[in-house]
Structure 1
């Protein structure tokens, strides 16, 4: 608990400072604590400190952890690559899905939202690629396909479009990538004014993301510490 408390306080201080440097209200940036691979006890400890939003990147771990802390007032987010056959379970939980990057997944979540009786809040994930234009291999729709995918989400009764999400390319200055994301987000908002959120920034680049307009930063390592190496077959997304 003391380590977690110190870490989350330090991360929130970074968020506040970055927002002020960008001329923004610190309250306009939400902290999403990415608790993947960490025990439910850590989620409970952070919830006791006032942290409400938690992210997972594997459907089974999300469902198991949510059941273990079922009495707590927390909001779950899914930040990994979601398989269509897991969409219904994630929708029933009421999790926000940050990684809608293809039509087939959007339609599966749409059906799940209709069956659950409430729309699924989703972000369209953008592949920001790299300096030479190569795909980042972290999931995400190519930028040219994002407006049409956002149109599909916005027109789906079982979905609610929250905005865009992306991960900056590895090993590069994140500012140009986040600037491209901000420009694309502005284009999407021109057609869908409700899509006001931008999920971007992790432990190492949250300041650059906030400068570009991020409203949600996804932080794992800076709060929980370094994770153990994944076992074979684990699906670990670079979303912290």
Structure 2
């Protein structure tokens, strides 16, 4: 089996999982976006996934993403992918990230929001990364601070708040984590009705996330396999 066939088979499996999860939750599978997490994989894999119909791709390190997105553009010059920054972002990397990312999914502080707003040359879509357990070592905005950060972002002209993102904490059942996020988003939408995106669920727990309203699942391993390249 060549790489294109391998990715096609993996994609079919992932799509089947999403469809089943949506059916069990009585949801339309068209409501759930598949975001391919391509960190540590080559641009050639991104090109193959694009050929298979995927258009949303995620990277977690600016120093890897910048050259990869440029290489992809040479492999598929007519392509129009949408790139997400999903990893922790230092404020001094904000300008670089805005050169390639269409959306930053890991905004967790007013300072980072301000840095992105200053760096953005066009209006930038963002998600607030929410920390369910407020563990400072894992990053994210504590769930209790979500309204304040959302209000701060909404006051900027350069950023557009599309919703939230989270990772289920270690030691907490994903269902518990995603249920807590779902409740927080319900309250958030009272003041920010356009914040409709819930990015939650990965290869191991996407079913639990879909059951609690996820509109975007971030899949790497189940789609691309074990990590092949050392991060630069």
Fold equivalence (TM over 0.5): yes
1:123: which partner in 2? 127
CA contact under 8 A between 1:100 and 1:124: conserved in structure 2? yes
Consecutive unaligned residues in structure 2, runs of 5 or more? none
* Distance in 2 of aligned mates of 1:50 and 1:219: 15
TM-score (norm 2): 0.93
Contact 2:85-2:101 within 8 A present in 1 as well? no
Which residue does 2:146 correspond to in 1? 146
Q: Please report how far the alpha carbon of residue 169 of structure 1 lies from its aligned counterpart in structure 2 after TM superposition.
A: 1.2
Counterpart Cα distance in 1 of 2:102 and 2:65: 9
2:23 alignment counterpart: 20
2:85 is equivalent to residue 82 of structure 1: no
Which of 11, 14, 18 aligns to 2:14? It is 11
| Two-structure CA RMSD over aligned residues (Å) | 1.5
Match of 1:181 in 2: 181
Q: CA deviation at 1:138?
A: 2.2
- Deviation by residue 1:214-235 (Cα, 9 ceiling, x = unmatched): 001000000111115856xx7x
How far, CA to CA, are the matches of 1:119 and 1:28 in structure 2?
24
Alignment correspondent of 1:208: 208
SS in 2 for 1:106: helix
Q: 1:49 aligns with which of 15, 36, 52?
A: 52
Paired residues of 1:31 and 1:216 also in contact (CA < 8 A): yes
Find runs of 4+ consecutive structure 1 residues off by over 2 angstroms.
Answer: 92-95, 228-231
1:92/1:112 contact within 8 Å kept: no
Deviations 1:74-105 (A, max 9, x none): 11000100111111122232421110001110
Extract unaligned runs of 5+ from structure 1: 235-240
**How far apart, in 1, do the equivalents of 2:90 and 2:21 lie?**
35
Which residue of structure 1 aligns with residue 155 of structure 2? 155
Counterpart Cα distance in 1 of 2:102 and 2:86: 10
Matched, 1:2 2:5: yes
**SS of alignment partner, residue 141 of structure 2:** coil
Aligned residue-pair number: 225
Aligned to 2:198: 198
Question: SS of 2:163's equivalent?
Answer: strand
Asked whether the 8 Å contact 2:153–2:160 carries over to 1, the reply is yes
